A and B are shown apart, each in its own frame.
Chain A
Amino acid sequence: MAVELAAISIGARAARLFSTRIDWTVVATFERSFYMRSGDAFVCIGEPSIGDGPLNVIVAHLPSISIGAPCRIDATSAAVWHVSLSPSLGGEGQGEGRLLAPTPPPATSPAREQGRTSGCPSPSDRPDGRTSSLSPEGAGKREGSNLLKTAMALALPESFIHAIADRAHVSLIHRRARIGIEALQRGDFDLAVTTLAGLGHGLTPSGDDVLAGAMLMLHALGRNGTAATLADAVRRIAPARTSPLSFAMLEPACDGEPNAAVHRAIAALLTGASPNDVIDPLSTIGATSGFDILAGMLIAAAA
């Protein structure tokens, strides 16, 4: 007998999947969530603390449920959640569509002083190769590079280092990660995806999360052409390199659709907020995924 759950909110992608697929089975269970699969489609059912996302279904309380159990979701009363970082699609809201518009920086910020406005750069904005279009020059770049260092320090050790308990072999993982990251930085996306997809530990391997973070940041910066090129490489190469579940979680990022926590972090980064405002929401994502996503975001931002 299938477990039936009533959804409080549901990501737009998940809602579309439920409208076309009927039989769902639990494939993984965790403290705050569980994953269901129907063919090549995956959704994540979780308690409110996991936050909204394109493939997330939020329920009031998680039942005790086992792998292999059938489960049905009643989304008739659920609010549909959707956000896109791509200017051609909608923004955050419950079933609405509007462009991402991060809150303006505080009055004391260099942005105001320099007479520049915050917000998502237009699609024609390109970084000049020396400064980041992430946020106002100087302050933004300093913040970005400090955050990059922090993220690299956090993300790589946190995620990759534990893949093999014998720490002597950590260097093997770091070496590969570095090859992939450097390829990402110089725009060799086929090599980046080949190296990073499926690399590392956990439900969504760290390399996948780095790629997701990079794609989402490129969309947020308005570098849609570059984002599309990377997404194309991900769609071509990643299915054979990573797990079906992780690839399913990558697809929304290919289209510039973050979950709520990443959206908050990107908004904080774009408006030059404190590192804590960037890191705190990301720290709620999985065990290390948030930090890996941050690494990808900052690689894209600093490139």
Chain B
Amino acid sequence: MSVIRNEVRRGAYQDSVALMRIARAVQSLDGVEVAGLMIGTPANLEILREADVLGADGESAGPGDIVIALRAKTAAQADAAMAQARQLMDRPRASAGAGQSWQPRTLRSALTETPAANLALISVPGDFAIAEARKAIRLGLDVMIFSDNVPLADEADLKREARDLGRLVMGPDCGTAIIGGAPLAFANVVQRGDIGIIGASGTGIQEVSCLIAQAGRGISHAIGTGGRDLKAEVGGITTLMAIDLLDADPATKHIVIVSKPPAAEVTAKVLERVGRSSKPFTICFLGDAERAMPKNARVVRTLADAASLATGIAATDKAMSAVAARKGVIRGLFAGGTLAAEAQLVVLAAGLEVASNAPVPGSSPHHDLPMQHTFLDLGADEYTRGRPHPMIEPAVRDEPLAAALRDPAVAVILLDCVLGFGGHMDPAGHLAAQLSNRAKNGPTIIASVTGTDGDPQNRAAQVEKLKEVGVRVEASNAAAAEMAARIVRRGR
């Protein structure tokens, strides 16, 4: 039977945003069914009463009081939640003399405050993203839309209008960009340089930019286009504008394009535009490495190959004798969707059959069958409904990882570990904790770490944490997949 807890703060005043944040924080605790923080007016007490979250203590509240009201599954959970609510309410509050400054509430007032701004990063629910983006481009701003769930037709309309206005729209569903050296959303700290990237994939941009940085080279700009820019309905508008921009940028000497294979007519337009540039291009249409290219472009199979070609520095190839062959299957558990796709392509190219919840051409849909090489994109909707993305909350991977460790058919577990701004502060540490007590004769664990030493998580430190628990860390996601494939092929 659920338990109600109320606490009344007499004569207390807090603004709605503060109370909302506290309510949401408490609501997310284990076992909490409902949480509300409201001033104790008769109208609000009625609301709390009807929501079945008001007890005798709360009923005593007056209009000048704040009521903390919650309902949880058990008494212990209710008490824990109330303790958390108290802690949050009692956080020291000082007025703005402490150096905080006013936050504008509309785009126009933000631009009034910061007239030199030339980019708006939009992260609002999808229903409102297009409206905000339109305001931004009409105010003369380029736009990055982090939001997803935007109708495709709206994306196309917006991009056409933006093109007419000479404004760039990165997105929707654009998770990564690096503009003028500034990492935006999920991005990494990489040095400035002369390689530009245009990507329809966030983790694709991250992997390529980090490999370029690890090779000692740098990025001029990494322009995210959003995952659907190369669909027929959108026609590659942002990709084409990005090529124009990087082509005209004197600091950019080599351009890398990363995406899944575009629609046929869009591919033709993009390659035609590439061919008119005087700069060299490296093109990675994941899963499509056979396409004819203009003279100034080369096509590659993997993100790692894209970085190698752009930098002119080949990745080192570890001797196979360093790792023992194993009999069994590969279980790939990925936070990054593009990394899951790339890994599938590498393993398919090695002659193995692959199943996935996000299958690439040549892979089968995942049906949880035994003795299948299975690659799971744990950032896909079925795993993130009501939960954070695994790049933010690595615990999403815990259960599939534990299942793979227990499965006698699994010879190799393949993992990605993505660093950078916006991501979890210690994904390797979390993985290491899950792996530290595994059975000695369990699966071989192979991982890649996408990131740089300059990232908040520090790639070198993250690699070390994984190695300490016996994980084999490869230089790239592609290399890790290749190693996994070799291990099980030799074991057949």
Q: Contacts A27-B11, A166-B27; is A159 near B97 (CB within 8 Å)?
A: no
Binds A, one of B36-44, B263-271, B365-373, B404-412: B36-44
A243 touches B47 (CB 8 A): no
Residues from chain B with a CB closer than 8 A to the CB of A240 are 42, 63
| The one of A32, A195, A245 that contacts B96, using a Cβ cutoff of 8 Å | A32
Within 8 A of B (CB), among A54-85: 61-67
A198 touches B43 (CB 8 A): yes
* Interface status of A28 (Cβ within 8 A of chain B): yes
* Interface status of B15 (Cβ within 8 A of chain A): yes
B14 touches A203 (CB 8 A): yes
A166 touches B95 (CB 8 A): no
* Interface status of A11 (Cβ within 8 A of chain B): no
Q: Contacts A61-B97, A280-B106; is A163 near B47 (CB within 8 Å)?
A: yes
- Complex Cα gap A173–B38 (Å): 12
A176 touches B47 (CB 8 A): yes
Residues from chain A with a CB closer than 8 A to the CB of B51 are 164, 166, 169, 172
Kindly report which residue of chain B lies nearest to residue A276, judged by CB atoms: B108
A199 touches B93 (CB 8 A): no
Residues from chain A with a CB closer than 8 A to the CB of B63 are 198, 240-244
Residues from chain A with a CB closer than 8 A to the CB of B388 are none
Q: Contacts A31-B95, A66-B94, A166-B51; is A176 near B43 (CB within 8 Å)?
A: yes
- Complex Cα gap A33–B96 (Å): 7
- Complex Cα gap A284–B104 (Å): 7
Residues from chain B with a CB closer than 8 A to the CB of A61 are 97
B44 touches A62 (CB 8 A): no
Report B235-272 CB contacts with A as 1/0, cut-off 8 Å: 00000000000000000000000000000000000000
A202 touches B16 (CB 8 A): yes
Residues from chain A with a CB closer than 8 A to the CB of B105 are 283-284, 290
| The one of A162, A172, A241, A290 that contacts B42, using a Cβ cutoff of 8 Å | A241
Within 8 A of A (CB), among B64-106: 64, 93-98, 100-106
* Interface status of B353 (Cβ within 8 A of chain A): no
Q: Contacts A198-B63, A203-B13, A241-B42; is A29 near B47 (CB within 8 Å)?
A: no
Residues from chain A with a CB closer than 8 A to the CB of B101 are 31
* Interface status of B17 (Cβ within 8 A of chain A): yes
* Interface status of A189 (Cβ within 8 A of chain B): no
Report A35-69 CB contacts with B as 1/0, cut-off 8 Å: 10000000000010100000000000111111100
B16 touches A287 (CB 8 A): yes
Residues from chain B with a CB closer than 8 A to the CB of A203 are 13-16
- Complex Cα gap A207–B16 (Å): 13
* Interface status of B33 (Cβ within 8 A of chain A): yes
- Complex Cα gap A110–B325 (Å): 82
A165 touches B93 (CB 8 A): no
B64 touches A165 (CB 8 A): no
* Interface status of A288 (Cβ within 8 A of chain B): yes
Kindly report which residue of chain A lies nearest to residue B99, judged by CB atoms: A64
Within 8 A of B (CB), among A161-217: 162-166, 169, 172-173, 176, 195-203, 205, 207
B43 touches A199 (CB 8 A): yes
Residues from chain B with a CB closer than 8 A to the CB of A176 are 43, 46-47
Kindly report which residue of chain B lies nearest to residue A47, judged by CB atoms: B96
Instruction: State how many residues of chain A have any CB contact under 8 Å with chain B.
Output: 54
- Chain B: minimal CB distance from A137 (Å): 28
Q: Which of A28, A62, A159, A201 counts the most chain B CB atoms within 10 A?
A: A201
Q: Contacts A172-B50, A176-B46; is A62 near B36 (CB within 8 Å)?
A: no
* Interface status of B35 (Cβ within 8 A of chain A): yes
* Interface status of A286 (Cβ within 8 A of chain B): yes
- Complex Cα gap A276–B41 (Å): 33
Kindly report which residue of chain B lies nearest to residue A196, judged by CB atoms: B43
Residues from chain A with a CB closer than 8 A to the CB of B16 are 159, 162-163, 200-203, 286-288
Kindly report which residue of chain A lies nearest to residue B100, judged by CB atoms: A31
Residues from chain B with a CB closer than 8 A to the CB of A35 are 13
Binds A, one of B18-26, B151-159, B171-179, B297-305: B18-26
Residues from chain A with a CB closer than 8 A to the CB of B15 are 30, 202-203, 286-287
* Interface status of A151 (Cβ within 8 A of chain B): no
- Chain A: minimal CB distance from B175 (Å): 26
Residues from chain A with a CB closer than 8 A to the CB of B94 are 29, 64-66
Residues from chain B with a CB closer than 8 A to the CB of A198 are 39, 41-44, 63
- Chain B: minimal CB distance from A247 (Å): 8
- Complex Cα gap A44–B421 (Å): 39
- Chain B: minimal CB distance from A65 (Å): 5
A63 touches B23 (CB 8 A): no
* Interface status of B413 (Cβ within 8 A of chain A): no
A243 touches B64 (CB 8 A): yes
Residues from chain B with a CB closer than 8 A to the CB of A165 are 20, 23-24, 26-27, 34-36
Kindly report which residue of chain A lies nearest to residue B103, judged by CB atoms: A31
In the A-B complex, list the 6 residue pairs whose CB atoms are closest, starting with the nearest.
Answer: A198-B41, A202-B16, A28-B13, A165-B27, A283-B105, A199-B43
Q: List 16 A-B contacts (CB under 8 A).
A: A31-B101, A47-B96, A64-B94, A162-B20, A164-B23, A166-B51, A169-B36, A172-B47, A176-B47, A197-B41, A200-B43, A242-B63, A243-B41, A284-B104, A284-B109, A287-B17
What is A's interface to B at a CB cutoff of 8 Å? 27-35, 47, 49, 61-67, 159, 162-166, 169, 172-173, 176, 195-203, 205, 207, 240-245, 276, 279-280, 283-284, 286-288, 290
Other than the known A31-B102, A33-B96, what 18 A-B pairs have Cβ atoms closer than 8 Å?
A27-B11, A28-B14, A29-B94, A30-B95, A62-B97, A164-B36, A164-B48, A165-B20, A165-B23, A166-B33, A198-B44, A202-B17, A202-B39, A242-B41, A243-B39, A244-B63, A280-B109, A283-B109
What is B's interface to A at a CB cutoff of 8 Å? 11, 13-17, 19-20, 23-24, 26-27, 33-36, 38-39, 41-44, 46-48, 50-51, 53, 63-64, 93-98, 100-106, 108-109
